[in-house]
């Protein structure tokens, strides 16, 4: 089995979820997608993560992002777990949780790492663009909860980079200055592309105000 790499078209699949059966590519439509895996239902770290995802739904919708979770338990277990998540995390789980009891999706996306567990999925995150291309992955061990602010920040950076042909510096946040990529060398082109101007700390390190602000 080969690992999915950045830029690859992600595998399609048909599977049951807590909100009905889906074919993944069709369900995704023209949206960005966050696909994130969970070792099992009724586990403490996962409960907090799904709660955070529910609370961030309005932010995802602003960015044309659909969230979808996956766990190796069945649909009835997912539905029961959803009630616990909503009660303890004070939110609504309005996104589907894939029922992957046969581990078909976990295998397709290489979510089971034997040195962590032979049966449970690691905490994998796949950010997928509207062309169904894998754009970013994050992999956490079973015991460590994910940073959903970072997931949102990464989506902002990816969408800005696509729209404006820029790069983002370390710790960049929406509204900060961005970097002019080295592919831009012609000064006339740079002036037209980045009319707000730029500052060059080195010939290869050029900052410009965020173009869409």
| Domains of the chain, residue spans | 14-145, 165-208
Give the pair of three-digit tokens for residue 124: 């994998």
Confidence (pLDDT) at 122: 59
**179 φ, ψ to 5°?**
-110, 135
Task: With residue 107 as reference, give the H or E element that holds it.
Answer: helix 104-108
Phi, psi at residue 146, to the nearest 5°?
-80, 155
Q: Classify residue 192 as exposed, middle or buried by CB count within 10 Å of its CB (0-12, 13-18, 19+).
A: exposed
Q: How far apart are CA 98 and CA 153, in angstroms?
A: 25
Instruction: Give the pLDDT score at 1.
Output: 47
Kindly give the interhelix angle for 148-164 and 44-55, rounded to the nearest 10 degrees.
40
Cβ 211 vs Cβ 196: under 8 Å:
yes
The whole-number mean pLDDT for each consecutive block of 10 residues of the chain, a chain of 213 residues, reads 84 96 98 92 93 96 97 93 96 95 88 57 87 95 90 97 97 97 93 94 96 92
Q: Which helix (H) or strand (E) holds 22?
A: strand 22-23
Q: Which pLDDT score, from 0 to 100, does residue 40 have?
A: 85
Q: Select which of 46, 65, 122, 151 is catalytic.
A: 46
Residue 171, helix vs strand vs coil = coil
The pLDDT of residue 106: 87
- For the question of residue 164 being annotated catalytic, the response is no
Q: Positive or negative, the Cα torsion across 28, 31, 36, 42?
A: negative
CATH no. for 14-145: 3.40.30.10
Nearest to 180 by CA among 148, 154, 202: 202
Using CB atoms within 10 A of its CB, is residue 155 exposed (0-12), middle (13-18) or buried (19+)?
buried
For residue 118, the model assigns a pLDDT of 45
Provide the pLDDT for residue 188. Answer: 93
- Could you tell me what percentage of the chain is helix, strand and coil, using 3-state DSSP and rounding each to the nearest 5? 30, 25, 45
- Listed residue (33, 21, 22, 5) closest to 131, CA to CA: 33
Q: How confident is the model at residue 66, as a pLDDT?
A: 98
Backbone angles phi, psi at 134, to 5 degrees: -75, 125
* Structure token pair of residue 62: 């602003």
């Amino acid at each position: 089995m080969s690992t999915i790499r950045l830029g690859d078209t992600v595998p399609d699949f048909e599977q049951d979820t807590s909100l009905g059966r889906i074919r993944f590519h069709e369900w995704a439509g023209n949206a960005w997608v966050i696909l994130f895996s969970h070792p099992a239902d009724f586990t403490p770290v996962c409960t907090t993560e799904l709660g955070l995802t529910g609370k961030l739904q309005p932010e995802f919708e602003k960015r044309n992002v659909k969230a979808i979770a996956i766990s190796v338990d069945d649909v009835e277990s997912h539905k029961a777990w959803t009630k616990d998540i909503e009660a303890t995390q004070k939110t609504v789980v309005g996104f589907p949780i894939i029922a992957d009891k046969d581990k078909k999706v976990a295998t397709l996306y290489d979510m089971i790492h034997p040195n962590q567990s032979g049966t449970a999925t690691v905490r994998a995150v796949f950010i997928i663009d509207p062309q169904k291309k894998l754009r970013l992955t994050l992999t956490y061990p079973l015991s460590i909860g994910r940073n959903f602010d970072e997931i949102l920040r990464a989506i902002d950076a990816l969408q800005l980079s696509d729209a404006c042909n820029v790069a983002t510096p370390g710790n960049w946040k929406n509204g900060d200055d961005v970097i002019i990529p080295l592919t831009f060398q012609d000064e006339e082109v740079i002036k037209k592309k980045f009319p707000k101007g730029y500052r060059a700390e080195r010939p290869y390190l050029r900052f410009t105000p965020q173009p869409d602000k």
